[in-house]
Structure formats: structure tokens, C-alpha cells
Amino acid sequence: MASITLDNLGKVYPGGTRAVGDVNIDIADGEFIVLVGPSGCGKSTLLRMVAGLESISEGEVRIGDRVVNDVEPADRDIAMVFQNYALYPHMSVRQNLAYGLKNRGTPKAEIERRVKEAAEILQIGPFLDRKPRALSGGQRQRVAMGRAITREPAVFLFDEPLSNLDAKLRVAMRLEIKELQKRLRTTSIYVTHDQLEAMTLADRLVVLNGGRIEQIGTPLDVYRRPASTFVASFIGSPAMNLLDAKAVPHLPGTAHAGTIGIRPEDLSLAEDGLIEMNVMAVEELGAQRLVHGRTSGEAITIALPSDAPLGDTLKLGFDRKNLHLFSRDSGARID
């Protein structure tokens, strides 16, 4: 068990690419932190710096009270789960789970106990003597997690562990990971580009963009009060509508804003609606129907109940408190 502090962390790759900069995060003991952002925003780099797989160019990583900048990965008391599982193909599941412990000189009986325990937790007991190639993707992912659990580390690091699984399995595993972390109370950092996965797993979200932190907060905080247009468009599905304030001048109380945001589910049909929308496409989702269109040249989407009436033009209303206002220059939230 340990807290983690990232202090002004930065990474410049040889060759001059800046992947990460000015990252400050305080992670509490037992907390589940999710780093989320689009591909190439530096999530993996950040995680790998914590793991010790990538050298640190600026700032400090502390695990517990110890600065670990120059500590080997094996000595940082961490365990990592990789996207492609990274199981040793020539070892049985049992050997995969035991390998790290064996290298540490853990007594045989203790190794056996921990392997058995992890196998029970993850229900991989029946496969213990199989090679990874004889397992399905989901089973391999379990083994990869088992390998992390047997280590009983202070910190779990996950780099997109579910990305190689099919959609249904992903949802199931997501829940399991969450439960597992609740049960073990191990501080965890989890990287994903999937905002839904991030929302469901995180105690706190860290939204990254271009190697910088855009916002840190609980999933609901981030959803309800996105700190910038980037976060607003990234978190939530369907994405929030971002309208140029000049294009829709008739909304009251928005004079000082550059961009006005409103979530598709916060819009509704209204006779006296202020926004007039030309319908261009409709997506049926079953419970909902998403209507895409334009208002004053700006793209806009609205989520309607599946029995809502449709037409070529719709009049849309909203509640003033559901508007999000952002500055024109920086895209930052203004209240």
C-alpha cells in the first residue's frame, strides 16, 4: 500500500519529442486513478515513467515517501499489466505467475500459496498447467492480472489492459477489475483511451491532452464541469455540442463566452425553443435516437427518446443551468 506523488514530471524523448510536461498528481493510498486521453497524448509514457521502464527527464516520482527516479522497476514495488498481456509464451500459467516471486527468492511454499490464491480470485485454477497459447484472450488477460496480484505490490499499473478484448468481454472484465481493486485496496493507475472505461473505473480521472493535464477530478465532476472544450468533447458519449457563441447569438447570458457547450441529452424538443436545427441524419440506438444536424452552420446533436416525433427542422430548448461556457482564446471553462 502506498501513495504516489508525481511532481512536475516531464519527459522529452531523445530526438526532442516532448511527450509529457508539467504533470502534478497526488494519488492517495488505495486510490484508483485513470489516465485518459486520445492516442498519442502521453498516457503510456507517463505510466512507464512511474513503472521505471522509461527514464525521467524532469521532475520526480515518489512512491510512498521514497523518490524512485533512479530505482529499477523490479525494486519499485509495482506490478504492471500490459495491453498485449506479455505472458512468457514458453512457461505454463503457473510458472508465469511464479516467475517474479522466484526471482525474488520467495520461499517455495509461499509462492505456491500466492499462486493458488491468485488463481482462485481470478478463476484460472483449471488452466494453471497450460501454456498461454492454449488460452483465449480473456483468459490470458486474467493470467496477466494474476501475475500482478501474486506479487502483492504496493501499486498496480495497467496500460490499456482491455483493448485487445471484444466489446462484451471488455465490459465484464472492467467490472471485475473494479471489484478486484476494491477488494485488494491496492493503489492503481490505469491507462485507457476509452472514456467510458475511464468513467466507470476511476475514483479520479486525469484527462490528458498533448502531454499536459487538462483536468483532474471524480468522473462526475469531470462530466458535469469539464474544465475545457477538450475535456468537454472527450468525456461523455455522444460528445457535448460545442457551438461558436457568435453563431448562436440569441442565447441569453452568454455574451462573454467564446464557445457554448451543451450535452445532447440536455437538449429537448420545445415549441418556443431558441435553437432551430436542420436535421441531417438519425441514428437509432434502441432506447434512444440520436439526431444530427446543423444550427446556424454549426454541427449539433440531440439525444431523444426513441418515440419522439421527427421533422426536417426541430426547435430545441434547454435549461440555462446546463450550459457550459468556455473562453474564446484558451478554451478554458468560465463561470
Partner 1 sequence: MIENRPGLTFLAHLVLIAGVLIVALPVWVAFVASTRGATDFMSGTIPMWPGPHLIENYSRMLDTGLSTSGTPPVGLMMFNSLVMALSIAIGKIAISMLSAFAIVYFRFPFRGLAFWCIFITLMLPVEVRIVPSFQVVAGLGLLNSYAGLSLPLIASATATFLFRQVFLTIPDELTEAARIDGAGPMKFFRDILLPLSRTNMAALFVILFIYGWNQYLWPLLITTDAQYYTIVAGIKRMADVVDGLPQWHLVMATAILAMLPPVAVVIGMQRLFVKGLVETEK
Give the interface with ligand ADP as residue ranges (CB under 6 A): 13, 15, 17, 19, 37, 39-45
CA dihedral 220, 226, 230, 236 (to 10 degrees): 30
Q: Using the rule CB under 8 A, is 246 a contact of partner 1? A: no
Output 44 or 229, the one with its CB closest to Mg ion.
Answer: 44
Q: Using the rule CB under 8 A, is 84 a contact of partner 1? A: yes
Q: Which residues make beta-bridge pairs with 155?
A: 78, 187
Q: Which residues make beta-bridge pairs with 7?
A: 60
**Residue 174: CB atoms within 10 Å:** 19
**Residue window 31-50: x/- pattern of binding to Mg ion, with contact defined by CB under 5 A:** -------------x------
Output 57 or 200, the one with its CB closest to ligand ADP.
Answer: 57
79 binds, among partner 1, ligand ADP, Mg ion, none (CB under 5 to 8 A by kind): partner 1
- Nearest residue relative to ligand ADP (C-beta): 44
Binds partner 1 (CB under 8 A): choice among 3, 18, 71, 82: 82
Task: Name the minimum Å distance from CB 90 to partner 1.
Answer: 4
239 binds, among ligand ADP, partner 1, Mg ion, none (CB under 5 to 8 A by kind): none
In angstroms, the first-to-last Cα distance of the chain is 39
Binds partner 1 (CB under 8 A): choice among 1, 28, 67, 74: 74
Binds partner 1 (CB under 8 A): choice among 39, 103, 255, 321: 103
Give one DSSP letter per residue of 135-161, joined into a string: S-HHHHHHHHHHHHHHT--SEEEEEST
Task: Name the minimum Å distance from CB 53 to partner 1.
Answer: 5
Is the alpha carbon torsion for 33, 39, 44, 45 positive or negative? negative
User: Which window, 75-83, 171-179, 187-195, 205-213, contacts partner 1 (CB under 8 A)?
Assistant: 75-83
> Would you say 189 and 156 are in contact if contact means Cβ atoms under 8 Å apart?
yes
**Residue 147: CB atoms within 10 Å:** 25
Q: Using the rule CB under 8 A, is 51 a contact of partner 1? A: yes
3-state secondary structure of 116: helix
CA dihedral 275, 279, 280, 282 (to 10 degrees): 110
Output 190 or 230, the one with its CB closest to partner 1.
Answer: 190
Distances (CA, A) of 61 to 9, 24, 53, 189: 7, 10, 13, 13
Output 29 or 99, the one with its CB closest to partner 1.
Answer: 99
Binding stretches for Mg ion (CB under 5 A): 44
Binding stretches for partner 1 (CB under 8 A): 51, 53, 72-74, 78-80, 82-84, 86-90, 99-100, 103-104, 133, 147
